[in-house]
């Protein structure tokens, strides 16, 4: 298509891509592969990926540092990046004008030819999606993993067709996806999160439960008392939990002073033989096994992965030992529920490093749920004062100026048999580029203490 033709087409296009970054660029690549033209808008003056966008579709109308309302007159659909809240004024104006607001996942499911396994949850979804990818590989099947994890969903369509698409989906993506015909839908857990994005906890929960609406089969957590009322009538379901399972379900069984992953009364694998650390990872393993069964993976292949996979970086990974005290990096524990699960998964007392941007999380719940397991809490970041108030009278607290100071203070507080745990219960953006950078800073600080 000539530049003139592209400009003419752009004047009548119905698509507007709102927000660049990795998702926006994946939308641009998808549209370019399909010879479709769109306009691109980002409220930031220098959004990430702007140079890449010019390489992909240099002739496209692009507006940065502004959100022109005039564009809405010729737009019937806005494809929006997940980080932009539904309360955004531009999106509100679009809806008032009768314009559809959709996610990249809406485009993906329209084009995908292989079955979809959709995974969501407040915590653990990256681990379970990765486990399923590795389990497919071990079983001689091809499972392409992406969406909220790693590769954007639309970029997966540029690869050879797999046996399965394995999509990690956020509440943001689910809220804006009307069509999701998943072969298997997995909901790991729900705890309050992203309340700075969603209107309230009820909206957040409704977004998560949407994953079941068009699914053929569901993997559900038995600990979620509400999940059953959100399942479509007649849907095939397999449950998992950290209790004793009924026939055909997944859980834990004791035998001869050992604890096993189990399917009904069938013992599968001792928890001591799981490479991942923590009780919450036992739940993740059970959920992956349930989903793997529903897509026909061999049990032996799945158990081999559980025996070998140590977990994703920055998720309950050992950073080092100092004077017999283990230092655990769980920087990915970016909400209260994840931090509680991290603390509860550790034997012995914990010196907890927490803090950052709280995202509306319930710090009182964090303090009450964990105080009996904590020796002390070292606080960092923007919301340290609120955390300090929540723990007041329950657990000793100290404030640290940065991560090096936090690790040094934790080392001084820890006693033999304790564990120092980075589980921030907060986002990282007040001090770090992302949770990975925060985890790296923790590991570097631990390494410096070992010298």
- List residues with catalytic annotation: 125, 148, 194
Q: Which helix (H) or strand (E) holds 371?
A: none
Q: Which residue has the tokens 């531009």?
A: 90
Pull the structure tokens for residue 137. 């590989």
Q: Which of 179, 155, 159, 139 is nearest to 291 (CA)?
A: 139
Angle between helices 50-57 and 21-33 (to 10 degrees): 0
Supply 134's token pair: 């590795």
Q: Which two tokens stand for residue 79?
A: 């494809």
Tokens of 130: 């990765």
Determine how β-strand 317-322 pairs with β-strand 325-329: antiparallel
How many CA atoms does the CB half-sphere of 119 hold within 13 Å?
A: 30
DSSP bridge pairs for 166: 117, 145
Q: How far apart are CA 433 and CA 413, in angstroms?
A: 28
Cα distances from 133 to residues 119, 141, 163, 221, in angstroms, run: 12, 9, 11, 21
Q: Residues 212, 184: contact at Cβ < 8 Å?
A: no
Beta strand 266-270 with 258-263 is antiparallel
Residue 215 CB contacts under 8 Å (≥ 6 apart), including other chains: 118, 180, 181, 182, 183, 184, 185, 232, 235
3-state SS, residue 119: strand
**Between the CA of residue 84 and those of 197, 234, 398, what are the distances in Å?**
8, 35, 35
Give the strands of the sheet with 15-18, arranged side by side.
62-64, 39-42, 15-18, 77-80, 100-102
């Amino acid at each position: 298509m000539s530049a003139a033709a592209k400009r003419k087409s752009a004047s009548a296009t119905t698509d507007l891509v709102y927000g660049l970054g990795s998702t926006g660029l994946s939308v641009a690549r998808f549209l370019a592969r399909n010879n479709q033209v769109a306009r691109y808008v980002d409220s930031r003056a220098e959004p990430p990926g702007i140079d890449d966008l010019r390489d992909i579709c240099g002739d496209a109308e692009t507006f940065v540092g502004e959100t022109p309302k005039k564009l809405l007159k010729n737009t019937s659909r806005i494809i929006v990046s997940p980080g932009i809240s539904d309360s955004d004024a531009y999106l509100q104006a679009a809806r008032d004008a009768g314009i559809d607001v959709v996610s990249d996942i809406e485009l993906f499911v329209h084009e995908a030819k292989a079955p979809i396994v959709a995974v969501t949850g407040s915590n653990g979804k990256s681990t379970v999606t990765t486990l399923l990818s590795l389990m497919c590989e071990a079983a001689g099947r091809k499972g392409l993993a992406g969406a909220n994890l790693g590769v954007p969903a639309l970029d997966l369509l540029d690869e050879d067709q797999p046996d399965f698409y394995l999509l990690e989906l956020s509440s943001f993506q689910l809220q804006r996806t009307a069509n999701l015909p998943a072969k298997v839908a997995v909901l790991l857990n729900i705890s309050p999160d992203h309340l700075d994005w969603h209107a309230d906890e009820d909206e957040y929960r409704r977004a998560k439960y949407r994953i079941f609406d068009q699914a053929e089969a569901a993997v559900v957590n038995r600990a979620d008392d509400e999940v059953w009322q959100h399942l479509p009538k007649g849907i095939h379901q397999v449950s998992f939990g950290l209790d004793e399972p009924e026939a055909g379900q997944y859980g834990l069984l004791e035998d001869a002073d050992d604890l096993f992953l189990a399917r009904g009364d069938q013992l599968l694998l001792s928890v001591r033989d799981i490479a991942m650390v923590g009780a919450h990872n036992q739940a993740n393993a059970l959920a992956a096994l349930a989903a793997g069964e529903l897509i026909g993976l061999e049990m032996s292949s799945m158990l081999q992965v559980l025996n070998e996979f140590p977990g994703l970086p920055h998720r309950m990974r050992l950073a080092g030992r100092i004077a017999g005290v283990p230092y655990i990096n769980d920087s990915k524990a970016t909400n209260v529920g994840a931090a509680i699960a991290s603390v509860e998964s550790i034997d012995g007392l914990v010196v907890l490093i927490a803090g950052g941007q709280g995202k509306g999380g319930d710090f009182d719940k964090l303090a009450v749920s964990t105080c009996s397991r904590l020796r002390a809490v070292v606080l960092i970041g923007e919301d340290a004062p609120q955390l300090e108030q929540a723990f007041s009278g329950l657990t000793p607290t100290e404030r640290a100026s940065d991560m090096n100071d936090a690790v040094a203070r934790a080392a001084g507080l820890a006693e033999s048999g304790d564990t120092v745990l980075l589980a921030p219960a907060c986002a990282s953006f007040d001090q770090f580029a992302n949770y990975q950078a925060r985890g790296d800073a923790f590991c570097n600080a631990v390494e410096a203490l070992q010298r």
